[in-house]
Amino acid sequence: MINSNYLTNLNEKQQEAVLHLDGPLLIVAGAGSGKTKVLTSRIAHIIRSHKAFSNQILAVTFTNKASKEMQTRVSRLLKKEATGLPWLGTFHSTSAKILRKHADAVGLKSNFTIIDTDDQARLIKNICKGENIDIKKISPKYILAVIDKWKNKGFYPDDVILKKKETLEKNFLNIYKIYQQKLIDLNSSDFSDLILHTVKIFKNYNDISLLYSKKFKYILVDEYQDTNFIQSEWLKSLSATNMNICCVGDDDQSIYSWRGAEIKNFLEFDKNYQNTKIIRLEKNYRSTQNILNVASRLIENNQNRVGKTLYTNQESGELVTLDCFRSVKDEAIDVCSTIENFRKKKNSLNEIAILVRAIFQTREFEERLLKVGIPYRIIGGIKFYERSEIKDCIAYLRCIHQQMDDLSFERIINVPKRSIGDTTIKTISEFAKNNNFSLEIASKKLIELNKIKPKTKIGLNSIINLLEKWRYDLKKKISHIKLLQMVLDESGYSQMLKNNKDLENENRLENIKELLNAMKEFDNLESFLEHVALATSLDQDWESEKVNLMTLHASKGLEFNIVYLPGWEEGLFPHQKSIEEKGENGLEEERRLAYVGITRAKKIAKISFAMNRFYQGDWIDSMASRFVDELPDEFLKKSNNFDNKEENEFEFNQDIDFEEEVRSPGWLRYQKKLK
């Protein structure tokens, strides 16, 4: 039986969620209710009570960081009995693992390449050129978004049914067909394919589906409210035999419909899985009661929710402040002024966050923070593996690993400069296409046929010879770390960076050194490349204390002692576009986003709005968000921050033409209400 520590550290509902092991279970976990603790305790309990071995447990998260944290916590609970969880990972990493074993079922080889978003965009761009589609008018990223939407719904090209009005999508569908075939030809998969292909295998091959559904005696899913249709189908297949699926999440924090997430999966869980038990975790360990009261009363205005009421044993705490400002500048000045006061009272800047609805809102705060000398970081910057120099290194390694990787070959063919211009690359591409060759083989053939200019021929020969040499070196069993060092030296890449004596290139060299350090954690080149493809973690400098600036979307899963929520103005929050595109569903998601923002705060939450905002090139009169009207007065401390100011203190851009008044969507809505 589970030792007493397991249960004594859990409240009654958490205990119930850990001990209920038979049949489908939906855990409705409110913000700060200890869902990770419950999940890890549940895994440990399954293992310790001998219900299943560690390799019979499938645990799915949305990020690698969450997976690592879960593994650490489980090991800590099991102590001497600690064991690895081979099937703990993200939807994508787990699917990649399954797909590599059965790749031939979807026309791939087991060593297929997982391409990232940049490679996808370049592939789409090339297809558009071949189909005479002007990419200046239609963005490849937009095309990819449509394709990704189809894949999230489980549609291959032949499954897509278009409506008569969807004339633009007809062109996209043709591109989708070519794109999918090209991926197969390149022995590649994009991220969405990892799950799509796996589900296809499960549906077409009952023996494979049965193999895995029998294997996993217990399935646990974190952040279930963020799953899309194809992920839901994936889970149904894997849980079909044992039906011991436990999904944890919070429907009130479902804010990613723009990424394909379907709240319906959560709301209809008991319809999809018969005899479902639902357990609500309502005790909050993060926030004060006043913060919880404000958040709960706001989210009660949503109709599509399972329903719960958060409470805490903590003190009531400070009232949530609601501030009105004359302008966004005044709002930023006041926020930064109070941050400075918190700083003087020995509050850590790391525990302060400014959460905005749209990323453009950060500018005003950045300028003010810089002016008063308060350090800050923007959460959601460029990821480590998305930096240009890192992508170059990875492209070299992918070319060595797989000769058919045209996208990687195209990236490094002239980096560093080898006198290989766009015209030559186009010639190689057309020859490759016409003869069904990879770009590298096509390059060799064109050299043999003497179709390449002498100067260009030297550069092209050099990269081909180097790639062949490095493959030979790899076969001699040199380490993947040594391999990259050789690539950097022999290609001239390191020298290229060293020759340009500026800070940016110094940083690039340091990034490459860090890449070499990262590679030490992997046994071989293949495992490292797979990790790179699936990596989702941000590379951030957490050395010094800084105020955190981020969007509300980026704040999910985080917590801070002090949280600022500026810009609660109609048209901005809720965002007009969201309401126009999705109607009531869009409004409810915006309200969930507000709920997420408020519940990030542990001790202090400050909501504010401005009556005047410079937006999309115009000054607009703003009106407080409708969400402000939904906040409970008894838990608020309201203040008007411009009544006592002189008229001449108000600053505005004198260059703007005010011949015609510009009114916000919120102002217009308010006028309609008056009529």
Choose the catalytic residue: 120, 225, 227, 253. 253
- The 3-state secondary structure of 118-142 reads HHHHHHHHHHHHHCCCCCCCCCHHH
Structure tokens of 7?
């249960």
Closest CA to 639 of 338, 249, 346, 222: 338
Write the DSSP assignment of 89-112 as a string of letters: EEHHHHHHHHHHHSGGGGT--TT-
Q: Tell me, yes or no, if 35 is annotated catalytic.
A: yes
Choose the catalytic residue: 15, 16, 36, 618. 36
Choose the catalytic residue: 116, 119, 193, 222. 222
Q: Tell me, yes or no, if 231 is annotated catalytic.
A: no
Choose the catalytic residue: 116, 148, 193, 223. 223
Q: Is 24 exposed, middle or buried (0-12, 13-18, 19+ CB in 10 A)?
A: buried
CA distance 567 to 41: 40
Q: Is 1 exposed, middle or buried (0-12, 13-18, 19+ CB in 10 A)?
A: exposed
CA distance 469 to 473: 6
**Strand 612-615 vs strand 618-621: parallel, antiparallel, or unpaired?**
antiparallel
Cis peptide leading into 157, omega within 30 of 0?
no
CA distance 648 to 82: 68
Q: Tell me, yes or no, if 426 is annotated catalytic.
A: no
Is-contact 601 351, C-beta < 8 A? no
Choose the catalytic residue: 600, 602, 603, 606. 600
Q: Tell me, yes or no, if 253 is annotated catalytic.
A: yes
- Nearest-5° Cα angle at 336, 330 to 342: 135
* Residue 489, CA distances (Å) to 391, 528, 660 in order: 17, 20, 63
Choose the catalytic residue: 13, 35, 606, 613. 35
Sheet holding 636-640, edge to edge: 376-378, 547-551, 352-356, 560-565, 601-610, 320-325, 636-640
Distance of alpha carbon 376 from the chain centroid: 22
Any idea what DSSP says for residue 656? S
- The 3-state secondary structure of 207-237 reads HHHHHHHHHCCEEEECCHHHCCHHHHHHHHH
Catalytically active residues, by annotation: 35-36, 222-223, 253, 600
